[in-house]
Structure 1
Amino acid sequence: MLVRDRMTREVITINSHTPILEAQKIMKDKKIRRLPVVDNQKLVGIVTYNDLLEATPSKVTTLSRFELTYLLSKMTVAEIMKKMVITVSPDTPLEEVALIMKQNEIGGVPVVEDSKVVGIITESDIFEALVETLGVEEGGSRITLELPQKPGILHEVTGIVKKHDVNILSLATFYDEEHPQFRYVVMRVAVRDPGPLVEELSQHPEIVVKHVWVSPEEEV
């Protein structure tokens, strides 16, 4: 899955001369937390909701409400925006974007193509993709397995599932640094009574069934 598959294409942007109060209103009205700053069709910065909060004078200030409003009305986003903007392209893999966000502790990045902002992708987009990838809304049963780091072991798992004529809705692999000799597989299957399948999986000498969870009826 690529960024272009999940990004928001209708991006709301502002220019560097936009007053801070106007940027605040845009974020509030549009229910967004970040605005790319574009001058002459070129990305020159980004301003976030937290940036705007930090720019607001403290409540302990001696300035009057009128003075505060006047001060903020004169400030533009150029004074507070981050000029070193992390961006991605539409063809960046989604997992790479997730890693970029984690490493840089940010909640969203502009998507740039041919020097133009063509979209934005946020942590909410990543979360929705994860929910879809794991098949959370598909119902069925969720089976967590502990497997040895051995070539072909996952093929053996899917072979057992096939024997029971059960469809795999999603499958994800995770690793634990404390147990590098194992991989953990979370498999969602289209069956509400996974008993027979779980029993045969458990009989395999190298497969450990760690957890089984059946989706509630209303989620199916």
Structure 2
Amino acid sequence: MFVANRMTKNPITVEPTTPVNEAAKLMKRRNIRRLPVVEKGSLVGIISDRDIMRVAPSPATTLSKFEIMSLLDKITVAEIMAKDVVSLPDTATIEEAALVMYNEKLSGLPVVSSMGAVVGIITETDVFKTFVDVMGLADGKTRITLDVVDKIGVVKELAGIIADAGFNIDSMVTCKQASLAGHFEIVIRVDADNVEEITAKIEEKGYNVVHVAKIG
């Protein structure tokens, strides 16, 4: 799954010379939290609602609303934008986006083409939605969680058990267990309400079913 298929395409951008007040109004009107800053077609920075809050007068100020607006009109985006922008190419995968956002503690990233043009924005909300879609959470699947020892052939054997019971696997995820060396947690989702037969056959093969629940 690629960022290009999950991002907001053709995002709103501003130029370095744009007054901060204008950028603030734009973000409020479009209900967005960040704006890529573009100059001559290339990404040169990014401005967020936090950047604007940082330069805006305190709520305790004695300045009038007109004076505040006038002050923000004199400050340009170039003066407060982040210049060392972390971005992603439009060929990146959604996993890469999630890892970069996690490592850099960012809630959104500009996406650029091979020519350097801003073609999208990928946010944490997009990543969350992808997770929901990949796991089929909205479709009301039954979730079976197993604790397994890492060995060759586990996934094949589990798939065979479920197929023999007459069901399809909608999704399967494996994750290392930090507290148990050599153990994995496997989460399988199947389109079935009654999974007693499946879980019984899984346990007959020596696997430990630790949790069963229908989600969605």
Could you tell me how far 1:177 is from its partner in structure 2? 1.7
Mapped to 1, the partners of 2:96 and 2:210 lie a distance apart of 29
Matches for 1:13-24 after TM superposition, within 5 Å: 13-24=13-24
Structure 1: 5+ residue stretches without partners: none
Aligned residue pairs total 215
Counterpart of 1:199 in structure 2 is 200
Q: Does 1:116 align with 2:142?
A: no
Secondary structure at the aligned position of 2:63 is classed as coil
Segment of structure 1 superposing worse, 126-135 or 56-65: 56-65
Mapped to 1, the partners of 2:63 and 2:8 lie a distance apart of 40
Mapped to 2, the partners of 1:184 and 1:170 lie a distance apart of 14
Mapped to 2, the partners of 1:173 and 1:57 lie a distance apart of 49
Q: Does 1:174 align with 2:175?
A: yes
With normalisation by structure 2, the TM-score equals 0.95
Secondary structure at the aligned position of 2:83 is classed as coil
Could you tell me how far 1:172 is from its partner in structure 2? 1.1
Q: Does 1:58 align with 2:58?
A: yes
Q: Is the 8 A contact 1:2 1:92 kept in 2?
A: yes
Could you tell me how far 1:125 is from its partner in structure 2? 0.8
The one-character-per-residue Cα deviations of 1:50-81 (angstroms, maximum 9, x if unpaired) are: 11111211223343443322211211111110
Q: Is the 8 A contact 1:138 1:169 kept in 2?
A: no
Mapped to 2, the partners of 1:188 and 1:3 lie a distance apart of 24
- Work out the percentage of aligned pairs sharing the same amino acid: 40
Mapped to 2, the partners of 1:8 and 1:154 lie a distance apart of 35
Secondary structure at the aligned position of 2:16 is classed as coil
With normalisation by structure 1, the TM-score equals 0.93
Mapped to 2, the partners of 1:31 and 1:174 lie a distance apart of 36
Matches for 1:46-195 after TM superposition, within 5 Å: 46-113=46-113, 114-195=115-196
Segment of structure 1 superposing worse, 67-76 or 190-199: 67-76
Structure 2: 5+ residue stretches without partners: none
Secondary structure at the aligned position of 1:119 is classed as strand
Give the aligned CA root-mean-square deviation in angstroms: 1.3
After TM superposition, the runs of 4+ consecutive aligned structure 1 residues lying more than 6 A away are none
Mapped to 1, the partners of 2:132 and 2:141 lie a distance apart of 14
